[in-house]
């Protein structure tokens, strides 16, 4: 792009998804969409709005509430030569579809010696937002360790657009995880068509004292915490992982090597979580490193707003964790020369 | 008296809206319950209807522009020729009804 290009128009998160889908459906006539209420209704978050009218009921198909069948059909259809996006409205219900996704979709190419592939995108919405124990979970860590499966989790409309377009061009299954609290967000989306490659984290705030590695909606929380910590003289570098499998360890490690401290932040459970994996691999790459994890408390997420807020991480918990991690070093360090 | 037409709120989960369509140019008189402007949230269209007779005087947020809850979208007045203030945000709010559809 030229330097004098006009500023990117702002769009709602849902519009970035709808635009990516519309462009890819126009580009690839074999691409089908399956999901509950994605047809004339336009999707739970209106992220499918306009697609049914434009591309018709044969390509934008409403399904029954039957997640295992939905993903099974998507993988079968893909193996037979289509490309398919299947929408699992809430990530909690992806559990019902793990057998076709993990045992069939992720292994299809391997099991058939490359004769069959499953170009399927499972788009699903994670996160706590007042809907209670079984409509609130962030399960992406469960998926990161499945060979043959890729997992992406954007935090901005621009990345939702670019990563979804990349996902729809993959030859194997991809889980695209968005978040309930990202849908009210608006952000810039360049007018020109582009894709965001997998496996590349992004430094979304530069800093020198600590690296915060996170993904999805927690990127918004991390940036909020970083702004607060800046007021007390702590400089946070925030890395948005964007893609969880494959994981861009290099970008996080390069940042952590400079700052010497790493905080991982996720909305899901920290035990065997995204942060556990990131922390281990980054420390393996960097050597000496102070590390702390932030995640949900070990409890179901209540629909009670007070209990929900107590369970999932917020900026205050990130601030407190960073303070605790840095305090001993700051006491031991000579006075900073920087203002 | 001069009034400011502001983005109404609170609307659950909404911090900012995009102006979808104005239903009149500056100078048009609105009767109570007439639709002045439609704005878009992340999941709905919100209609702003006059709750008092008024004349639309100046549009400060064009179609396609973004505005946060409480921001001034336009100025309206009781009489068509009242001089407009230099600081629009100081004007008292115009009474509007809004429905999230």
Domains of chain A with CATH codes: 10-188 (3.40.50.970), 202-330 (3.40.50.920)
- The active-site residue out of A52, A135, A179, A215 is A135
Distances (CA, A) of A46 to A37, A52, B7, B44, B63: 10, 12, 22, 9, 21
Contacts of A185 in chain B (CB under 8 A): 42
Q: Is the pLDDT of residue B84 over 70?
A: yes
Q: Is A237 a catalytic residue?
A: no
ipTM above threshold 0.90: no
How far is residue B24 CA from its own chain's centroid?
Answer: 11
Instruction: Note whether B16 contacts A: Cβ–Cβ < 8 A.
Output: yes
| pLDDT on residue A331 | 42
Pick from B13, B43, B66: CB nearest A186: B66
What is the rounded distance in angstroms from the CA atom of residue A135 to the CA atom of residue A218?
Answer: 17
In a mutagenesis test of the B interface, which of A7, A17, A186 is the best target, namely the one with the most B β-carbons within 10 Å? A186
Mean pLDDT of A154-175: 98
Pick from A45, A46, A186: CB nearest B16: A186
Q: Which domains does chain B have, with CATH numbers?
A: 2-100 (2.40.50.100)
Which residues numbered 50-89 in B keep a CB inside 8 Å of some CB on A? 66
| pLDDT on residue B12 | 86
Question: Is residue A228 a contact partner of residue A320, using CB atoms and an 8 Å limit?
Answer: no
Residue B59 distance to chain A (closest CA, Å): 20
Are A184 and B13 within 8 A, CB to CB? Answer: yes
> Which pLDDT band holds residue B100 (cuts at 50, 70, 90)?
confident
In chain A, which ranges are continuous DSSP H helix? 13-27, 51-55, 67-79, 98, 108-111, 140-144, 157-168, 218-231, 249-259, 274-286, 305-311, 315-332
pTM (whole model) above 0.80? yes
What is the rounded distance in angstroms from the CA atom of residue A196 to the CA atom of residue A241?
Answer: 13
Are B66 and A10 within 8 A, CB to CB? Answer: yes
Instruction: Note whether B100 contacts A: Cβ–Cβ < 8 A.
Output: no
Helices A249-259, A274-286: inter-axial angle, 10-degree rounding: 60
> Which pLDDT band holds residue A339 (cuts at 50, 70, 90)?
very low
Beta bridge partners of B59: B74
Mean pLDDT of A32-38: 98
| pLDDT on residue A205 | 98
Instruction: Note whether A180 contacts B: Cβ–Cβ < 8 A.
Output: no
């Amino acid at each position: 792009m030229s330097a004098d290009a006009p500023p990117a128009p702002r769009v709602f998160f849902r519009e970035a998804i709808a635009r990516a889908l519309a462009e890819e459906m126009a580009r690839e006539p074999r691409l089908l969409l399956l999901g509950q209420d994605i047809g004339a209704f336009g999707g739970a978050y209106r992220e499918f709005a306009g697609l049914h009218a434009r591309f018709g009921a044969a390509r934008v198909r409403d399904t029954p509430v039957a997640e295992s069948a939905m993903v099974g059909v998507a993988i079968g259809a893909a193996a037979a030569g289509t490309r398919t996006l299947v929408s699992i409205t809430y990530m909690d219900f992806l559990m019902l579809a793990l057998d076709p996704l993990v045992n069939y979709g992720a292994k299809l190419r391997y099991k058939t010696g490359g004769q069959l592939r499953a170009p399927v995108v499972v788009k699903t919405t994670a996160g706590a937002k007042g809907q209670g124990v079984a409509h609130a979970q962030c399960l992406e860590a469960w998926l990161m360790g499945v060979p043959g499966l890729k997992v992406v989790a954007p935090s901005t409309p621009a990345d939702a657009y670019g990563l979804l377009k990349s996902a729809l061009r993959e030859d194997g299954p991809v889980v695209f995880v968005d978040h309930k609290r990202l849908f009210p967000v608006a952000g810039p989306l360049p007018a020109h068509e582009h894709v965001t490659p997998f496996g590349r984290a992004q430094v979304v705030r530069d800093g020198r004292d600590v690296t915060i590695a996170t993904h999805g909606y927690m990127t918004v929380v991390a940036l909020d915490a970083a702004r607060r910590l800046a007021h007390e003289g702590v400089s946070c570098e925030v890395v948005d992982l964007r893609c969880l499998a494959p994981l861009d360890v290099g970008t996080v490690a390069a940042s952590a090597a400079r700052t010497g401290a790493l905080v991982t932040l996720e909305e899901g459970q920290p035990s065997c979580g995204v942060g556990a994996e990131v922390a281990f691999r980054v420390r393996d790459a960097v050597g000496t490193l102070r590390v702390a994890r932030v995640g949900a408390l070990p409890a179901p997420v209540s629909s009670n707003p007070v209990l929900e807020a107590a369970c999932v991480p917020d900026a205050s918990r990130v601030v407190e964790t960073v303070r605790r991690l840095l305090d001993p070093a700051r006491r031991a360090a000579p006075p900073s020369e920087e203002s | 008296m001069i009034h400011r037409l502001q983005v109404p709120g609170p609307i659950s989960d909404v911090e900012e809206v995009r102006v979808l369509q104005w239903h009149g140019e500056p100078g048009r008189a609105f009767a109570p319950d007439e639709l002045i402007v439609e704005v878009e949230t992340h999941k709905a269209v919100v209609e702003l209807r006059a709750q008092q007779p008024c004349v639309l005087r100046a549009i400060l947020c064009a179609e396609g522009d973004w505005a946060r809850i409480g921001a001034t979208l336009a100025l309206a007045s009781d009489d068509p020729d009242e001089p407009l203030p230099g600081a629009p945000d100081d004007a008292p709010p115009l009474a509007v009804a809004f429905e999230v559809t």
